[in-house]
Amino acid sequence: QMPSIWFEVGLHCLPKSDACPLELAGFSFAGAPGVVIGHNDRIAWGFTNVGPDVQDIYIEKINPRQPNQYEVNGAWVEMQTRDETIQVAGGQPVTITVRTTRHGPVLWEDDKDIQEFSQESGLALPEQYRLALRWTALEPSSTFPALWLMNKARNWDEFRAAAALFDVPAQNFVYADVDGNIGYQMPGRIPIRAGGDGRTYVPGWTDEYE
């Protein structure tokens, strides 16, 4: 059975000082610095997912003569490529090539999948195309610095300053402190879209849908 995503953690400086001010308890998950949800000796916080639409699928027009090139505003541009090795339990490692456009990774390469999509999508598609995923979680973010500042926050203003950096995933934050204050904040990076609302596939070869 897989372990839980969350695990209980306490961080206590002994002795506590300006150089080591931590007095924290709560819950965290693997790879995150400090406490994700919990309290220090001054403030407490929790959150739930907001659930906004932060993913977009772009149809990329592919150069029929060069499968690693895609169109951007009338010009062919090279995709970025990298090899990733997937370790297989009880088997040999598998190496795949990941291709990325300006919008993000290409979702699939199998000709059968592409043909089925072409037949079922009902869209006017280019002769050669791929689908690329743009997702806020794949872009550089300041979520971990936000958590570290939240762990050290002493009041509402410091908590809000930390929360302002929490961009992925968007969260409903609740707050309370030892002075009797309560608060709510909803930080998160949510796309402002041109030419659509994120519910449908959009052309990737023009800037009209950025």
DSSP states of 188-210 = ------SS--SSS-EESSSGGG-
What backbone torsions phi and psi does residue 84 show, to the nearest 5 degrees?
-125, 135
User: For the segment 1-46, what is each residue's pLDDT rounded down to a tens digit?
Assistant: 667 889 999 999 999 898 998 999 999 998 888 999 999 999 999 9
3-state secondary structure of 152: helix
Residues of the chain with pLDDT under 50: none
Residue 111 has what pLDDT? 81
**pLDDT at res. 3:** 75
How many other β-carbons are positioned within 10 Å of the β-carbon of residue 177?
A: 19
Cα separation, 21 vs 11, in Å, equals 10
pLDDT, position 1: 60
b/e map of 137-147 (b: 16 or more CB within 10 Å)? eeeebebeebb
CA distance 133 to 60: 10
In single-letter form, the type of residue at position 19 comes to A
CB under 8 A, 24+ apart: contacts of 46-51:
46/173, 46/174, 47/171, 47/172, 47/173, 47/174, 48/171, 48/172, 49/169, 49/170, 49/171, 49/172, 50/169, 50/170, 50/171, 50/172, 50/186, 50/188, 51/170
Lateral strand order in the sheet of 7-12: 7-12, 23-28, 37-39, 43-49, 171-177, 182-185
Rounded distance between C-alpha atoms, residue 194 and residue 82, angstroms: 30
Structure token pair of residue 105: 């990774």
Helix axes 143-152, 156-163, angle to 10 degrees: 170
